Every structure is written in structure tokens, then in C-alpha cells.
Structure 1
Amino acid sequence: MMNLGRASLALALIFGLQASARAQAFGLNEIGTCAVGRAHTGTGSPCADPSVIYWNPAAATLLKKWTVYAGAAAISVSGDYTADSSAGVFPSIAPTAFPPHLFVNYKGAGKWAAGVGLYIPYGLTSQWRENFPGRFLALKSSLLTFYAQPNVAYEFTPGWSIGGGPVIGYSRVELTQALDLAPVSPSPGVTFGQLGIPPGTEFARATLKGNATALGVHVGLHGRLTPTIQLGARYLSEVRFKYDGSDARFQQRPTGIVLPEGNPLTPGGVSAPLDGILAAQFASGGALVAQGVSTTIEHPAQVQAGVGFSGLPNTLVSVDYFWVGFGSAFRELPVTFEGPAAANNGVLIQDYDNAWAIRAGLEYSLGRGVTARGGYSYVRAAAPPETVTPLLPDMDRRHYTLGFGVPFMNRYWLDAAYLRVDTDGRRGRVVERESRAQSASDLNGGFYSFTANIFSLSVGAQF
């Protein structure tokens, strides 16, 4: 049976994270429009809406009566890959994503508050054209993870609250990638590349789909140090998703290659179409029949802490620090094939670092409940130089934000925000990393660029 190379098949299940075109890489922070307008500074000085269930679960005690907050963001990512060898530019064709959010909270006359939040902390789609040289790592990769978070908060002393609740996660991953014939071994110790098949000869498409559920916890602390200074912190635990029994399917792609006479693959070395020989791998008993795949992807822990200052007229200044624990969650990725490709089982090397961000936001009251918002944040990438791939061309980012809030009809309000993501680009690879001995200089063969435009809109109501 042919040895197909575990990395060539297993990379399909990496997309979980990070997401980041981002998450901190595949991580999404577009949860609540007010927070987006303030460059995601929602922990030390939370917005006055129930998205605090995500940004700081303890701050739910600051709300009054029934409050509902719902909306979505439109995330448009632009990027490309420039190859060193040809100077060719290969654009990304990722579709616009629309992650929604919904929060409900109740705070009565006492010290308790309770609510629930539905949001997407990780997810996005990476997609490339058919001629992309990295199609053997990914043509299309998609992650979507929903968190449902029941929340309870308690004001344990005047001005200070704690809060939190369980997180119930549902995650779905999908990837389509091309399979390269050159590294495939038709017999032990010999590859098609050694027989003259050039690298980049596509002979199959793999599509992998999987889903999983998992549990975590989210807790927060919030309080006022002085009448003009407030503090807050939150911890969202790591959530470990086990994608058991995910579905892997393979479709043969014609190469058009005819083996010459004297080849070592046909009886007597007679000339024959290569596609006919490969077809056996897609039939019963072959390595590329539909089969199950299992892996575990850890959505990393998050810690955020911040401070807000309201000592200036009509102005709130907020600064937050955000940390994501990719260093422990995304070192290696075990992959197990539950079928004829089981010989390709193994571990993929990722070696991510922890990611972090510094965020600064400003909110100014214009009167009659109308507010203007703005902010800036710097995000440090999690991917090391040798793990910048088309699945996740992670890189340092700068976020610039603007937003506003407008009340209407007494009990309702509208929030809108715009976020611009800029980067300097980053060198990356379109080939597999099979050993830690391979450095970035050995692997990286081009340059990824990336920008994004994000529009967020939410409507709130109080009853």
C-alpha cells in the first residue's frame, strides 16, 4: 500500500485555532459592538450592555432590569502570498464572515445578576485559488466554534463583584486540500519524485469534516478602586475538543501522465497511464477510501485585565492587557486515521508561542445618550517563524477602531463600529514541516500579506 505522508493528510484538522485569519489567530474578538469600537477594552471598564457576560462576567451586576443585546460583525479579509521562486502573487479569496452574538441579562433590586451569552470566540475561513502553490497544505480551511455561557454575578461588597459560569462549546472544522504525488511512495524506499514525477503534481483532493463538543469555565472580577478608577479581570479556561470519527473523503484528480516503457510500476515495465494505476488507491482496499479521522484541538485559555479612568469631563479612558495561552495548547497535534490510511498516524509539530495584546480605548459622551468611541491595539502573533502557513498566516497586527452609540425609542439603542487591521506582512511556507530540525530559513519560500476591514452592528434593549 502506498505511504501517503501523514502531514499531507493530517493538516486538514489543524484549522481549529486560531484562528487566527487570526486568533490570535483564529480567535475572534468581534463580540459586542461597543467593545469593538473601543478596541476591545471591555474588561476593566465594561460597556453598559450584557456583552459583559463575555468581556467580564462579574460586571453583569452593573446592569439593571432585563437587558438584551444582539448583533453581528462583517469581517472582510484581504491577503496574498508572493512566492520567492517566481515572484508570482497569489491572492486569498476568503469569503466575508458574519459572526453573530446574543446576550441576555437580568439584574433585580438585590445583589445578584443572571444571564446567558451566545458568541463565537474562534472561527474564520481561509481560502485560495486553484493555482496557489500552498494548495497541498490547504485550499480552503474553515473553523467555527460557538460558546454558550450561562452566567451568574454577585456584588459581594459595594462596588465589587464576582461572576462566571460554565462554557458549553460546539466546534466544526472543514478543510479541502490537494495531495501531491511526488512524495508518495509506490513501494518501500522509493517515491514518485525519485521516479521523475515533478513536485506539485496533484493527483487527489482531500476533504475533511469534523465536529465536537466540550466544556470550560469563564470567571471574572470587577470593582471600583475610587469613584473615577475601575478595575477588572477575567479568565476563560482552555476548552479541549476531541474530534472523534471525523469524516475524510478523497477524490482522484487526473494527472494525464503516461508511464514510459521500462518503468518499475507495471508488469514487464510496459507503458501505461499513471491515473489507472493510482485509481486502485480510491477503490475498496485502497488508502484513499472514505474513512474516519480523529484529533484533539485545544482552544487556548484567555486572560484579560484592565483599568478604566473617568476623571476627565464626559470621558472614559480604558487600557486592557490580553493574553492567550497558545504556548501550552498548540505545541503538537495528534492525528489518527481510522481506516486504511492508519499507517499515516502521527503528531504534527506546531510549537506556538503565547499571544498577547495591548489595548487602549476612549469613549466620549456627546450628550442625550450619544457616545463616540475610538481605540488602538497591538497584537503579538502566536505562530513562530516556521509555522506561518496558508492555514494560518499569523502575524503581528495593529487595530484601529471607531464607533458610536445612539439611543432611540426610550428603551433601545444602536451601536456601530469599524475596525481596521493592518500588518507589515510576514515570511511563511507552503510546504510541510516534518521535523523540528527544519528551521524557518529551510522552509519559508515566500511572503504573506494580510489586512482586514470589520464592521460591527448591534441593537440593545432594556425592559
Structure 2
Amino acid sequence: MKSKFLAFLGSALLSASIATAGGYQVNLQGQKQIGMGHVGTGLVLDQSSIFFNPGALAHLRQNGIQLGVSALTSKIAYRSLSPGISEARTDNPMGTPFQAYASYGAEESPWRFGIGVYTPYGSTVNWGNYWQGRFGLNELSLQAIYIQPTVSYRISDRFGVGAGLIISTGSVNLQRSIPLQNAFGEEGHIELDGKSKTALGFNVGVYARPIDKLSLGLTYRSKVDATVEAGDVTFRIPGAAPVAAQFTATEFDATLPLPDNITLGIGFMPTERLTIGADIQRVGWGAYKALRFDFNGIVGGQDHTEAQRNYKDSYIYRLGVQYKVNEMLTVRAGGYLDKTPVRSGYLTPETPDADSRSVSGGLTLALSEKIDLDLSFSYINKKERTDLSDKSSGVPGTYKAVAYIPGLAVNYKF
């Protein structure tokens, strides 16, 4: 039981929404880009270049502020492998990952400065208290926020560089049942609640436009170590005192890697109205080999545990198009394939990850010379996946996940 719970915790602290991206990432950092399959590294679209490519930020023509939010609805279904098939579905509340960007630079200056605040991780997974895997997970809530001050320099009309400092913070709450029961049928329960320490990383990028119809971008976002120190451990243990004596911990510590990313982007503008973009992104999940937890007391008889994860690096392939219908309306469409980093045998109920396919669309309405409204919609479908073993102390069975994500943003230019 102890190893099962603690191995679960390791994935939980890294998880975002199960249905949003492979390897727990939430790819919702710009509404224009979402409409194009989240393509943006080789393009100059708006202030969200702070996230997608700091090197492109200095090529924006205007200063601006952008505020955006997505309404994330995800559904996950489970079917057991046991005789007399058992099924379960999550009852997840709506998530609201957001993004806020602002940039400023003097009209003739090659310098541009910006700041971004966005949520690359954050969601809730709720399986309830009665499903077959309740001893692995009842509920998980995670919030992570990145703050990124950024500077960008336009070396020439065709080349730019930029960098940003990532300041990461967040919190987690997770709950699960314990296989202990009293005479009234009440089961044990455990809850962990903690806040991660402020952690630092960086985001760097270069942007080039060798010819008028072609643009290129390359970005690197560093790994960030999310560390929880003195998180709260709370037990509800039914039964006799000798059993309760096996659960004395009140605090836990853990350090978890949020992987690095490197992305190559290409933009092609065959006409003044049409833009085609493509990105290839490598996510360094190979850094997530194992996870250790240390307690200030006993959990199921031990004061620490270590669980193997053995993730592998993964790739995301994106393609999108944008067409400017007229001065008031621009439309977009796109999609991506996201390869899972989770190896066979390491599937868990909080992260039943599989290869993901996404299609999306969007548009921009120019309400005035200074104000634009962006709308997007993304549908994500993860392949059905069956895991027969429990190397990661998961719940063997068949999992299937989908997500529906409308979003909007307001842009103010000055």
C-alpha cells in the first residue's frame, strides 16, 4: 500500500490535465496558436511570443497587452481486466488555464521588454471514493504558475534573439482511500497537501526570416525542479491503535523534474493573406527516472520510498494554417500528434497517458484598431490504452481520455 500511494504521488505532482498533453504538459499558452495546432515558434503572431519564442518578440510592430483563458473539460474512462467487468469515469470539474502577456519597446528601438504569466500545469482529476482503483487515487488537484520576465533584441529586420527568466510556483492536493476498514465499513483515507518552493528556469529563442516568405524559430526551455518541503500529511485511520501506529507522518518532502523542451518552428507565407506553420518539439521526459519521498514519520511502516518511472523523451508534431479573410477577420485551423513518454507497465490512474491526436480551429475579430478578440477550440483524443502490469503501482486496465477546450483572449495594442 505505502509504495502504491507514494508512487502515485510522484506522478500527481507533475500532472496537469490527463487529457491535455503527453507527459503532463498543458499546451494552452496562446489562443491564436491553439487555433493553429499550438504552432508558434517560427511565427510572429502576438505578445505570446514571450512563451513561444522570445527571439521573435522584438519583431512585433506594436506594444500590447493580452489576456486569455481556456475552459478545459476532460473525461477519462476506465475498464478493469477482471472477470465481471468493472468500469469507472472521472467527474472532473472544468479547468481554467490562463495566459497574460505584456510587452513594450520604444518605436525605433531594437529592444523590447515583456512579461508573461501562464499556467503550464493545472487541473483536477476526480475518480470518486467508490471505484475499483480508489486505493490508488480518489482525487487530485494541481496548480502551477510560471512568471516570465523577458527581453528581446532585433539584430536586424531579419534576425532576433531573446531570453526570459522562468519563476515557477504551485500547489498540490491529493486524496486516496486506504485498504483498512472498521466494523461499520468505513475505509481509511489519506490526504497530502503542499506548496512547491519557488524554482527558477529560463526560456531562450532565436528568430530568423531569411527571405520574405520564410521564417524560422528555435527555442529552448530549461528543466525546472519542483520541490515540495514540509507538505502536510493527514490520515483518517479506522480500527485499533496498533494499525494507526503505522501512519505517524505529518510532513513530506519531494523533488520532481519538470522537463526541458526544445522546439524548431517554420513559417511559410505563400501570399500576404496565407500563413502556414509547422513545429517539432522534443520534451525531455527522459530526466524522470525515479522518484523519492521522505517523511518525518512512518507511512505504512517506512519513512521513505522510491518508485521507478523510467519515462522516455517524447516528440510533438504540429501543423497549422492562418488565413486573413479581410481587415476584420482572420481564421485558423491546425492539429498535432503528441507521442506519450509513459512506457508500458507504468500507467497510473492519475496519468493514463497515451499518444494524443488533436484538431483545432480559431479566429480573430478586429473590433477596432487597438482591440482584437481571439477565439479558439481544440479537441484532444487519446488513444485507448491497456496496461496489464503495475510496475509503477498503478491500476491495471484499459483507459481512454478526451478533452474539449474552447478559449478566448483580448488583445490591446498601443
Output the TM-score relative to the length of structure 1: 0.84
Which residue of structure 2 aligns with residue 292 of structure 1? 251
> How far apart, CA to CA, are the structure 2 residues paired with 1:430 and 1:138?
17
Deviation at 1:307, TM superposition (A): 0.4
**Structure 1: 5+ residue runs without aligned partners?**
183-196, 254-274, 435-442
Matched, 1:366 2:350: no
Change (3 A) 1:179 1:433: same
Taking the TM superposition and a 5 Å limit, the aligned residue runs for 1:299-448 are: 299-312=258-271, 314-328=273-287, 330-341=288-299, 343-428=302-387, 433=392, 445-448=396-399
Q: Give, as a single letter, the amino acid of the residue that structure 1 aligns with 2:234.
A: R
1:134–1:431 contact (8 Å) kept in structure 2: no
> How far apart, CA to CA, are the structure 2 residues paired with 1:10 and 1:181?
19
Matched, 1:12 2:4: no
Deviation at 1:234, TM superposition (A): 0.8
- CA displacement, residues 151-176 of structure 1 (integer Å, 9 cap, x when unaligned): 00001233100001210000211110
Taking the TM superposition and a 5 Å limit, the aligned residue runs for 1:61-460 are: 61-85=58-82, 86-108=84-106, 109-181=108-180, 203-212=187-196, 213-253=198-238, 275=239, 277=240, 279-282=241-244, 286-289=245-248, 291-312=250-271, 314-328=273-287, 330-341=288-299, 343-428=302-387, 433=392, 445-460=396-411
> How far apart, CA to CA, are the structure 2 residues paired with 1:353 and 1:298?
13
Deviation at 1:376, TM superposition (A): 1.2
1:69–1:102 contact (8 Å) kept in structure 2: yes
Q: Give, as a single letter, the amino acid of the residue that structure 2 aligns with 1:225.
A: P
Q: Give, as a single letter, the amino acid of the residue that structure 2 aligns with 1:244.
A: E
SS where residue 302 of structure 2 aligns? helix
Identical pairs, percent = 26
SS where residue 35 of structure 1 aligns? helix
2:22–2:355 contact (8 Å) kept in structure 1: no
> How far apart, CA to CA, are the structure 2 residues paired with 1:390 and 1:429?
13
- CA displacement, residues 80-114 of structure 1 (integer Å, 9 cap, x when unaligned): 10112132220111111001110000122110000
Count how many residue pairs are aligned between Structure 1 and Structure 2: 407
1:167–1:218 contact (8 Å) kept in structure 2: yes
1:39–1:360 contact (8 Å) kept in structure 2: yes
> How far apart, CA to CA, are the structure 2 residues paired with 1:176 and 1:63?
46
1:25–1:394 contact (8 Å) kept in structure 2: yes
Deviation at 1:134, TM superposition (A): 1.3
Aligned alpha-carbon RMSD (Å):
2.1
> How far apart, CA to CA, are the structure 1 residues paired with 2:148 and 2:172?
21
Structure with the greater alpha carbon radius of gyration: 1
Which residue of structure 2 aligns with residue 27 of structure 1? 25
- CA displacement, residues 204-246 of structure 1 (integer Å, 9 cap, x when unaligned): 1110011112000110111102100000011110000111111
- CA displacement, residues 316-341 of structure 1 (integer Å, 9 cap, x when unaligned): 0001001111111x110111011233
Change (3 A) 1:423 1:306: same
Which residue of structure 2 aligns with residue 40 of structure 1? 38
> How far apart, CA to CA, are the structure 1 residues paired with 2:58 and 2:236?
55
> How far apart, CA to CA, are the structure 2 residues paired with 1:421 and 1:110?
41
**Structure 2: 5+ residue runs without aligned partners?**
none
- CA displacement, residues 341-388 of structure 1 (integer Å, 9 cap, x when unaligned): 372412111111112110000000101141000001111011111111
